[in-house]
Structures are given as structure tokens and as C-alpha cells.
Structure 1
């Protein structure tokens, strides 16, 4: 018996379906054969990660090779600043995270930082930046937004979004405000499980997204978050109401709506990546991101979309509409434009210095022993080993210290060892997001109880227990450097901030 063969879709529709995909891949110089085949059939975009980056010349060669396969291929990357980026080895400008910029509240400074990042992307041939974060940081328990947000005030966030988007646009790079309609009201990280925002519809954080749309942002990224006030069951990425009625209808957005990565457990564990791709496009998304380097996952998503088109569960009209938006985006941004060099210089460090607060620190210390406590780095961060210890030693080579990345097995032993090592020296104790990670609080308490003269630093989102601490409002390299200067006394004249 001859097996049944699914009929091929018309070539133009097949190409349109491929435009709705953004694929991650492995490698720094060679384009995998499966990726070449996807690009030749119309793949809409690729997303780069640290695994694809060696140095600037290599990235230019890679983006040139990719664009040589298809000139209208969008090449994107997460490039938020503040330690969330993948281009450190390619010479990326160091800028503080959004929260520090919101603390300074100088939109011109935010624009300068965004310009530096976008100019660098354009120089590498990267045409899309999955930034800025438009979420508001509401809850101390939120594990994922935090210092990635410009703040909790929608007006502050809106004006910094406008500055960021305009600066990026001027460089011919596509920006992407995320995560619609907001991830700041959750207490769950959607990388690990489905998140829920239980607030009423009138309490949701739409104002920053309205501002981004008014500023002409060409892309929005959806959140893998359920908003029961909008859709009782489906996360925003898969919700026809959230994308169709709210985003397209009420907010009037006609740019590209791209999903957050489908392999995040909020989608993958409940629906599977392939079903997630089909459902997201059916709900109104224009592109779906499959960020994992294993291309078989992307191919499975592609096959699910093509299969749904064949059987009629995904309408051709919906795919034509999505592909049309992606095509218009590519016509505008696929080849980035660099109108002259960025004049930013060390604007990122200048911004971090303006943000840092010295708290109750009256004078800097020399030859300190620094203990830097922080949670194990999130997979979304491109952590390069930077720490407050290394930052202080750059300013004061006589300093020493210990880095503790993640809860220690023997906390009491750590306290005893630090006290011994710090004997006869000033002691500096730094925590990061201690509200979320109580172990940091009791290690700090143990150290400060024995050494009430200790200088206390908070490198994450300030919270309970951080009163009077030196505040950096982030753990990007320039945030840590600015905090180190305050601790040592090189930048002690920095104005205190509320």
C-alpha cells in the first residue's frame, strides 16, 4: 500500500510560513545545512547568542554570510545592556541596565546609551534588537523583571522607552518593546513555569506599551503570562483576545508581534514548542522565536505550521497577514544603516556613576576585603565572571575578597572564613536581590553583627534590608565599577538618591 503523502503547499504560501519563524543555531562561522535550507525557503530571521559570538570581525563575517543567503533575512539579538547581552567579546559598549537609567531619569542619557548599543549592532550587521524592556517593576517577589525595567512609574518608563526607541530607529536598527502586556505583576519567571498576573484589567501595565507604539516601535514581544482578566486560560502569546482585540484593536499596533522563545517552560511544558508555534500564529503573532540551537526543534515548529495550513486549522489569510508584516519590517531594517560613528564614548560608565547612591557611606575604604553575594546567574544573562570583587580591585589593587554565586553549602563556615580573611581590613558585604534569596540576608547579618563597621552594598533591586546601603541598581560591569569607585572613595562625591 502506498503511504499517503501530504500535498505540497504553493511555493509562495510555503515561503510566507517560513517568514513567520526566527531560529537560533549553533556555530560562529559555518551556517548549518538545515539552517541554509530554512533560509532558502524564506526563513524570516535568526537570533544570535553568546554561542555565535567570538569577536567583531567574526560576527561581521557571519552576518554577511547569512545575508548572502537571503538579503532580507532579519538578524536579531537580545541587547538590553546592564549585563544582558551577548556581544562582550565583540566589543559591545558597556551600559547600565534600565533601572539605573530610570533612577537618573535623563532621557537624553538613555538615548545616548541606546545609540551606543544600536551603532555597535549596525556595525556588526545585526538588524534587530530585542529591547527595550517595557515592563513595570511592581513586586519585590518578581524574579525576572527587576532592574531590567526602567522603574515602576509608568510615566518614567514611557519617556525612557521613547528615548530608547527613537535612538535605535535613527541607527536603522529595529527595536522591540517587551513583554506585552507586561511581566512586572507576576511572581514567577516564565522561563521556568507559566506565570499569572491576577490583577484586574484596569490595573494592567498598558501605558508603557501605548507609549512605545506611539514612538513608532516596529516590534513588540509577547509575554508567556496568563492574565485572567483578559483570557482565563491562555497565556498572552497564545491568546487571540490579547493579541487581536487588545493589541491590534484597542492599541492599534500594526507592527510585528513576535513571541518570546517557545522553548521557555511556560509554553514548552504545557503545549510543546510545535503546538506553541501553531497556536501563537493562529492567535495573531507574526513571528515565533525558537532560540535553542538544535534545529530539529525549529523544524518541528515549522512542520506543525505547515501541517496546520494543509488541514485548515491555521488559515492562509492569517499567515499571509503575518508574513506581510514581517516583509515590511525586513524591507525597512534587514540591512542596518549607520549614520556616522557613535559619539557615546564612555557614556555607559557616566550613566552608572550618576545612578549609584552612596547611602550612609561617609568615606571610602582602602585595602578592603569584599564578599560579593549574588544568586546563580540566570540563563538569560551573559555572565562573564564580573563581580564587585574584581571591580574594587580594578580601582584599588590592594583589595581582596571572595565571590559567592549561589547559596553556599556551609553558610556559617563562609561567615567564619570571611571574618578571618577580613581581620585587620575594612569589610565590604554586597548582596543582590536579598528579598528573593534569604540566604544572602542571614550571611550579611552574620557578618555585620561581628563587624558593625562593614560597608554594605546592594547590587540588585533595592529592597527590605538595603536601607543605608551603597546602591548600584544593577550588576552590569559599569554598575559594579561605579559602586566600586564609591566604596573605595574615588567617586565619593556622587549625590545620594532616594
Structure 2
């Protein structure tokens, strides 16, 4: 069915071309691994701009290829995207995603050519699955010690370093015919709140914020085709609204000062920074009016997407949302689709050794502890983030892969009885060497307390970090499988 043959339904009956333009401005999540839901088919037929895949849509590589083929059979210019940062932040583990350590480890390794090889591996894998939009790389700077969401997803705290690696990543992704997306403009690294969970505010002055803009400026200069907005309030830039809903930030700053003319996409509207205060539907309308070109509704409940769509159509019908703004946004999305919607061709192979090499170079950038064998490994880490994939990786598994005599205990999240956990660990360890790993313990005091209790009884224990470095004898700079394997090799002397 073509748009010209479709009679739009909803809160406003608009000209067919304007109805199609409004649908171009939406990116929808959905549920299932087999078949496209009928409601989604109807949205695609009316012009839906894109879909975003998550772990819930992935069983294996062949299944993903069938799914992307089916989506394009409905309409060939549909954009199919996924979050694909590496370092455990991705949704394609069961589809054979290349092991890549994530941005912070790449920044520590400090070799843009190696970053390009890692980005090429990720993009090559995407292209082989029929996915041509990658919501990566992260351009945020990690400089606030209590930031809960950026951390090892960032290339680091230095704008020049981040810019160097962003350029390498963007260029490598582009060569694969995959659209990259620098996020989260104008930077999420200066907050103490995760915008998935609440209103995030960056209280710094205009001058202090300038350094955070530099990686995005570099990404624009490198030709990045997409930028994603942050659900963060910057009082120095706009005291009223988060960046996603701010004309000052999206228009004056990004469009005019940074001269970006690609597709500006929002972070997911169901995140509580938007949903709790505005609601997803109002958020969609306000974001488009403020200058966004596409809004993402990542939840699999298509009724949320439909509510956002209806709010946009209603605002167009009443004149609250100017027609020319939606046509401008849809035009950018069409140009993006002309370049990227259809995979460039059969994806050539990629370098499977780039990720392990990068992870090892990061872990070995500083002298490590003496090697231990037959250790009892204690892995303390927070529960996985609900919006980010977690493939079940843990340090003990990776240590045992290179030293089968190792034993260990994994503690995922704060236990109900920490002293009992400490006692159980010490009994299990006996006289074996003890390794205590924590992940961002400064954000999770329960880890600090358990670590301190263990070290008070076993001062000979080797302390290591699996998030950002916090004084351990070694650091993996992330909890992707390849990060943890590189740390395991250092610990065991492999």
C-alpha cells in the first residue's frame, strides 16, 4: 500500500504528503523477533521514519537479517537503527557482535587508527545484518566524578582527545555505509542524575560548558550525519527546558553556532526526564517545534508511539506546530534515508582482533599487579542498567577461561546481609589469593563497605577496578567481555 492510496486517520485529517512528513519524524521501538506487528506495518506504510532494535528483537544473526529484510519489504527507505557503542553497550551479543572494549578504553589506548578498526568492526557487523543507523559514538565528556550514566561510555575528559577519536569513529562508520550519531548534545557528562530516571541538571556556567561542545563541533566538522539530544537542563543556556525541548539549544547553538544541518534525533521520550514532566506525546510535539527532526519512542508499546504521532498530527492540524517545521525535518530524514536506508551491499569481513588488542593496550597502559593463579575472584558490580544491554559478562568467567583453577563470587547489586556475604567469601577463599574487583564503587557505597571488610581481613588481596579507575592495581575501563578478558589476562599473567 502506498501513501497516496492511504486515507489517514487520527485526530486530524491532513494532506497525505504532510501526514507522511509527520510520520517521517518518528522512530519506533517494537516487540518480538519474528514478524512485524500489524500496527507497526501501518505506521511504516504511512511514512514512519525509522525503527530502533533492542535485545528483545534479537535472537541470532540470521533472524535479524530476516527481520530487517521484512521491514524493508514494507518500505525500502525505512531507517533501521540500534544502540551500538561497544564495551557491553549494545543489543547484538546473541547476533555475534564483535568484541570491542568501549570508548573510555579506546581513549586510554590512545590510538585513533585502532579506534577506527574497532568502529569498522561494529559497523561492518551492522551492515551484514541490514542495520544502517548506529546510535553511537558518545561525544559526552566524562569529567564529573559522580556522573551515573556516561562514565566508560565516553572517550574521556579531554575535549581534544575525544575529538580525535570521534573523527576516527565517524569516518570508519561512514565507509561502511552506516550512519553514525554523536550523542548526547550538548553533553551529559556534567550531571549527577541519569536522565533515564529523573530530571538531570548541569549547573555550570556558559564558559564552563564550552569544553563539552568541542567534541560535537569536531563531529560536525567530520560530517556526522546525526546528532542525538540530551534530556538535560542547562540553566546557563536555557533555564526552562531540557536540551531536547529547547529552541535555544537545538536551534541557536547546534544549528547556527555549530552549523549542523544533519538529522537531529532525540533520546528516547519515555525517559523520565521527559515523560514525568511533559509526557511522551507533548514531548514529541515540543521537541519537533524546538528543532528536532526525529523523536525516538523506544518502548515496545506501540500505543505510546501512536499517542506521540497523534499529538504531532493534532498540533499540525491546529497550527500549534508549523507545517514548514515538520516539512523541513522530514526533508532531512529523507536525505538521510537516501544515503543510508538501503545497505551498501554485501558487507566485507572485519578485523576481529581490533577489540581484544584495544582492550589489552588499555589495561596494560600502566604497570599491573603481580600475577596470581588459583585465586578466588570477588566481582562486585551494580545491577545492569535497564536501558542498556547486559550480556551476563563477569570477571570470574573470564579469569577461569585463562586459569581454570580460579574460583570466585559474583555479587550483582547490594546484598541484604553484607556481613554474611563477606563471611561466605572468606570461607570460600580459604588460603587462596584473593582478588577484589569493584565497579564505580564511589557511586555504590555497598561495594566500598564490602571491599573494606574484605581488605581488613585479607590485606594481601589484590584490588582492581572494572569501571572508571578508583585506585586499584589495574583497571578494565568497562565491563564488556573483552574488557574483562584483558583484565583477567593481566591478573593471571597470560
Same fold (TM over 0.5): yes
Aligned-pair CA distance for 1:457:
1.0
- Per-residue Cα deviation, 1:9-65 (whole angstroms, up to 9, x for no partner): 000000000000000000111100100000000000000000000111100000000
Paired with 1:378 and 1:255, the residues of 2 have a C-alpha distance of 30
The counterpart of 1:254, out of the listed 249, 261, 267, is 261
Please tell me whether the aligned partners of residues 171 and 339 of structure 1 are also in contact (alpha carbons under 8 angstroms).
no
Say which is worse superposed, 351-360 or 240-249, in terms of deviation. 351-360
1:358 and 1:219, CA in 2 relative to 1: closer, same or farther beyond 3 A?
A: closer
Please tell me whether the aligned partners of residues 178 and 220 of structure 1 are also in contact (alpha carbons under 8 angstroms).
yes
**2:271 alignment partner in structure 1:** 264
**2:78 alignment partner in structure 1:** 73
Matched, 1:483 2:490: no
1:126 and 1:343, CA in 2 relative to 1: closer, same or farther beyond 3 A?
A: closer
The counterpart of 2:342, out of the listed 335, 344, 348, is 335
Paired with 2:369 and 2:110, the residues of 1 have a C-alpha distance of 25
Aligned-pair CA distance for 1:336:
2.2
Matched, 1:418 2:405: no
The counterpart of 2:113, out of the listed 104, 108, 116, is 108
**2:290 alignment partner in structure 1:** 283
Map of 1:96-495 to 2, 5 A cutoff? 96-204=101-209, 205-338=212-345, 341-357=348-364, 361-463=368-470, 466=471, 468-490=472-494
Please tell me whether the aligned partners of residues 369 and 474 of structure 2 are also in contact (alpha carbons under 8 angstroms).
no
Aligned residue for 1:257, secondary structure, equals: strand
TM-score by length of structure 1 reads 0.95
Paired with 1:402 and 1:127, the residues of 2 have a C-alpha distance of 40
Aligned-pair CA distance for 1:345:
2.2
Matched residue count: 483
- Per-residue Cα deviation, 1:61-90 (whole angstroms, up to 9, x for no partner): 000000010000000000000000000111
C-alpha RMSD over aligned residues: 1.2
Map of 1:88-99 to 2, 5 A cutoff? 88-99=93-104
**2:7 alignment partner in structure 1:** none
- Per-residue Cα deviation, 1:340-378 (whole angstroms, up to 9, x for no partner): 523412211111000004866442111111110001111
TM-score by length of structure 2 reads 0.96
Paired with 2:81 and 2:341, the residues of 1 have a C-alpha distance of 10
Paired with 1:61 and 1:419, the residues of 2 have a C-alpha distance of 50
**1:493 alignment partner in structure 2:** none
Matched, 1:41 2:46: yes
Structure 1 residue runs without a partner (length 5+):
491-498
- Per-residue Cα deviation, 1:411-453 (whole angstroms, up to 9, x for no partner): 1111111111111211110000011011111111111111111
Please tell me whether the aligned partners of residues 117 and 351 of structure 2 are also in contact (alpha carbons under 8 angstroms).
yes
1:109 and 1:38, CA in 2 relative to 1: closer, same or farther beyond 3 A?
A: same
1:177 and 1:8, CA in 2 relative to 1: closer, same or farther beyond 3 A?
A: same
